Structure 1
Amino acid sequence: MKQQHSHNYLILSALLFFFFVTWSSSSSLLSIWLHQEVGLKAADTGIIFSVLSVSALFAQVCYGFIQDKLGLRKNLLWLITLLLILSGPAYVLFGYLLKINILLGSIFGGFFIGLTFNGGIGVLESYTERAARRDGFEFGRARMWGSLGWAVATFFAGLLFNLNPHLNFMAASVSGLVFFWLLTRLKVSLPAGTSEQGVPASRISLDDALRLLTLPRFWALVFFVIGTCIYGVYDQQFPVYFASQFPTLREGNAMFGYLNSFQVFLEAAGMFCAPWLVNRIGAKNGLIFAGMVMALRMVASGLVEGPLLISITKLLHAVELPVLLVSIFKYNSLNFDKRLSSTLYLVGFACTSSVIGTVLSPLAGFSYEKFGFAQSYLIMGIMVFCTTFISIFLLRSNGTPTEHSFPQPNAV
């Protein structure tokens, strides 16, 4: 059994690695591609990211409940695998449609990216966390390999982009094929129709999920996420701002690839250390710590000038994200019904991020054009600081996993 658990850890780590290789190859330079190759302005790009957030929102709501029903079965992962393999041709079609009609291209691209990556990563991460709880390994240690996958792909993304952006899209599809092979190797032995706790999966009903909406502690978590998820809006067009700091766009593209790759290598190291830190300071304090670092990063981005100092502020992401991800899963496990772990993560965290992204993406695009990147980053940073500070009083201190759970049905 221990050997099987070790095998599952390795396969899940590899799945995360190649999921992020596919995601980074196709999307890490998305805003640069839309700006330089497709010829869109910042406001148009903001609209695309807003549509992307809407599609991710619906995907996350459905994905979360479905995955909780499935438990550790792989049905939903097979759908995501197909989308990963098709990502290369889909991005080529995305660019073609944008040149014909912005709205048509935005709907197609936003739907595909939201369904595949912004929604799909939540499924894979929550599946991995569920397996980690069952098999006794730390989620952060597996998620670390996802960061490494992003770093490896991003290291080459800028160079391939300067040769031909379509090379990145081809690499994404090849990585999707590797993901498919790995998923065939993942063997999770569970009695038919049961979740990882041994409870029949059918016992998880829509009423269980909707009951979350009646819990004040759920809305306290959502309020915290509303502030911290601004980092996604911040990151959307940051490559454009960074590339503008260099004499030529080609040099800026390549340097951003190197910077992003280095950042994610640091992020992977953070994923390895984050479980130790969060276990010592507690899940709530981990969330507050991550939020404050995030606010500092955004405010600093608006105050400093030049590639070196802007690069340093960007690297703070490698501190905040690992602590945030590990803390959010541990906080949910301590304060909510474990059977709804996917719904909690995909709705309470990812879905809320999509809602805020939908609202703020076009506003951010307008702000970049009206006030500039630096002023816009200052505003974002202040917003994150305020919501994080208020969350100190709203979030619950660590309880016990069973103290706040819904009543569990007896296994049959």
Structure 2
Amino acid sequence: MIWQFYLLELLIYIPRALFSFIGNYFNQLHFSDLQNGLLGSAASIIILISNPFWMRFADRKIKNKVLSFVAMASAILIWEVYLFKNFWIVLIMTFTVGFVWTSILPLAESISITHLNQHGFSFGKARMMGSIGFAISMIVFGYLKNDVIFFLIGSVTFLLIGLTALFLIPKIHGYNVGKQKIKFSFKNLPGEFYRMLILETLVISSGNFGLYFFPILMKSRGEPVSFAGIAIAIHALSEVPFLFFADHIVTKLGVKKILVIASLAYGIRWILTWSVSNPILVISFQALEFFNFIAIYYAIWHYVSSNIKPQHRSDAQAIFWVITTGISAIFGYIVGGWVSNAFGVKNGYLFFGILSICVAIIYGLYEYSKSIPSLSKQNNF
């Protein structure tokens, strides 16, 4: 039975949707775009500490119990963000809840992929439920007017995640339970993995900016905030076709080609969002997510699961999530907030569109040049 993992994936992406839309709540408190960007990056900054801490801790425990603890703690701590209205206090509270909630997704997906791989199921198909949960949540948040209900949805979801991990999900032990503790070393992981992470840092930062500031972009163009919810829901639902065929796509194209194509597609998406003002067209452009974040995320996740030794896998997963939801978000939120403050939110999309295309070209040329002497031996580009 894998329905438990479908449920878990559905639940863990609801808080991700909430924190993707929370910039609209901060905007209602009349915080500036730069302050909004700093608040959005708070969880991404703390994840540099929290993610390695919780992933290493869970690696020597039953992961379900650790997941349940951080989810239950998040259910309580999220109300700290709502209760205060002063920017500096809200910033501190965002750091506090960020220390626990940011580890939910990597912990849950490390549990899912371990169990599903062991039993011959596709993680991609289970992950589709996360995209569906994210999409439904964004539509709801786009129309929701009551802030209390907004935070209540987040709190209840955290509670349900904790209960699901504790009572429904089969017990999953960490990779190093009962074994000699292996010290982390960057040398344990291949160089091509780090090159992938450099691309991810820069390109996914454009995605973090694009989603977080989308409600603000709609407002600046005189459109209803609900349009942002619909657009981001389309963004999430467009991931489903990719995930349904994800394993086949990765096998057919290879990880590196996927990274190049996805980065180019990201750049095209944001440049189109910048250049076109018609809201229907702008909303439709978000369907390019079919081969944006989800492709980069799944390709690197597949690489970690297939190419990294089990004893080093939790370290690679921790680094992957630090980049995905940490460093890339910090860059996207803070730099994006600064660009928006200085040149307008609209031009922030142009900046990140150009950045994504440049990164794709540089990475593609570099990896291609490295593959030339040994094309006969390599099939991953």
> What is the TM-score normalised by the length of structure 2?
0.87
**Alignment correspondent of 1:105:** 90
Distance, in Å, in 2 between the alignment partners of 1:223 and 1:173 is 34
**Alignment correspondent of 2:283:** 311
Checking the alignment, whether the CA contact within 8 Å between 1:140 and 1:322 is kept in structure 2 is no
Tell me the CA shift for residue 187 of structure 1. 4.8
Distance, in Å, in 2 between the alignment partners of 1:387 and 1:261 is 27
Q: Mark the CA change 1:203 to 1:286 in structure 2 (over 3 Å): closer, same or farther.
A: farther
Q: Secondary structure at the match of 2:30?
A: coil
Q: Mark the CA change 1:129 to 1:42 in structure 2 (over 3 Å): closer, same or farther.
A: same
Candidates 211, 217, 221, aligned match of 1:245:
221
**Alignment correspondent of 2:11:** 18
Structure-to-structure mapping, 1:50-65, within 5 angstroms: 50-65=41-56
Tell me the amino acid that sits aligned with residue 110 of structure 1.
F
**Alignment correspondent of 1:235:** 211
Distance, in Å, in 2 between the alignment partners of 1:263 and 1:48 is 23
Candidates 149, 167, 191, aligned match of 1:185:
167
**Alignment correspondent of 1:77:** 67
Tell me the CA shift for residue 42 of structure 1. 0.5
Distance, in Å, in 2 between the alignment partners of 1:81 and 1:146 is 16
**Alignment correspondent of 2:182:** 205
Candidates 102, 108, 131, aligned match of 1:124:
108
Checking the alignment, whether the CA contact within 8 Å between 2:74 and 2:158 is kept in structure 1 is yes
Distance, in Å, in 1 between the alignment partners of 2:296 and 2:38 is 27
Checking the alignment, whether the CA contact within 8 Å between 2:63 and 2:107 is kept in structure 1 is no
**Alignment correspondent of 1:45:** 36
Structure-to-structure mapping, 1:80-99, within 5 angstroms: 80-86=70-76, 90-91=78-79, 93-97=80-84, 99=85
Aligned CA RMSD, in angstroms, stands at 2.7
Distance, in Å, in 2 between the alignment partners of 1:349 and 1:225 is 11
Whether 2:29 is the aligned partner of 1:30: answer no
Q: Mark the CA change 1:146 to 1:84 in structure 2 (over 3 Å): closer, same or farther.
A: farther
Tell me the CA shift for residue 123 of structure 1. 1.8
Tell me the amino acid that sits aligned with residue 198 of structure 2.
F
Q: Mark the CA change 1:152 to 1:361 in structure 2 (over 3 Å): closer, same or farther.
A: closer
1:236-289, CA deviations, whole angstroms, 9 ceiling, x for partnerless residues?
A: 212110233335xxxx12222223223322223332222222222122222222
* Structure 2 runs not aligned, ≥5 long: none
**Alignment correspondent of 1:3:** none
Tell me the CA shift for residue 219 of structure 1. 2.5
Tell me the amino acid that sits aligned with residue 35 of structure 2.
D
Distance, in Å, in 2 between the alignment partners of 1:68 and 1:168 is 33
Distance, in Å, in 1 between the alignment partners of 2:342 and 2:55 is 38
Candidates 255, 262, 268, aligned match of 2:234:
262
Distance, in Å, in 2 between the alignment partners of 1:358 and 1:323 is 21
Tell me the amino acid that sits aligned with residue 341 of structure 1.
R
Distance, in Å, in 1 between the alignment partners of 2:270 and 2:95 is 25
**Alignment correspondent of 2:344:** 372
Whether 2:329 is the aligned partner of 1:357: answer yes
Tell me the amino acid that sits aligned with residue 43 of structure 2.
L
Distance, in Å, in 2 between the alignment partners of 1:187 and 1:340 is 24
Checking the alignment, whether the CA contact within 8 Å between 1:246 and 1:307 is kept in structure 2 is no
Work out the percentage of aligned pairs sharing the same amino acid: 18
Checking the alignment, whether the CA contact within 8 Å between 1:239 and 1:256 is kept in structure 2 is yes
Distance, in Å, in 2 between the alignment partners of 1:59 and 1:156 is 29
Candidates 287, 296, 303, aligned match of 1:331:
303
Q: Secondary structure at the match of 2:60?
A: helix
Distance, in Å, in 2 between the alignment partners of 1:257 and 1:352 is 22
Structure-to-structure mapping, 1:136-175, within 5 angstroms: 136-160=120-144, 162=145, 164-175=146-157
Checking the alignment, whether the CA contact within 8 Å between 2:136 and 2:233 is kept in structure 1 is yes
Distance, in Å, in 2 between the alignment partners of 1:219 and 1:325 is 14
Tell me the CA shift for residue 39 of structure 1. 1.4
1:76-107, CA deviations, whole angstroms, 9 ceiling, x for partnerless residues?
A: 212222134326xx24x31443x23x222112
Q: What is the aligned residue count? A: 370
* Structure 1 runs not aligned, ≥5 long: 1-6, 404-412
Identify the range of structure 1 (265-274 vs 232-241) with the bigger mean alpha-carbon deviation. Answer: 265-274
Tell me the amino acid that sits aligned with residue 168 of structure 2.
L
Distance, in Å, in 1 between the alignment partners of 2:240 and 2:160 is 21
Q: Mark the CA change 1:373 to 1:269 in structure 2 (over 3 Å): closer, same or farther.
A: same
> What is the TM-score normalised by the length of structure 1?
0.81
Distance, in Å, in 1 between the alignment partners of 2:65 and 2:350 is 43
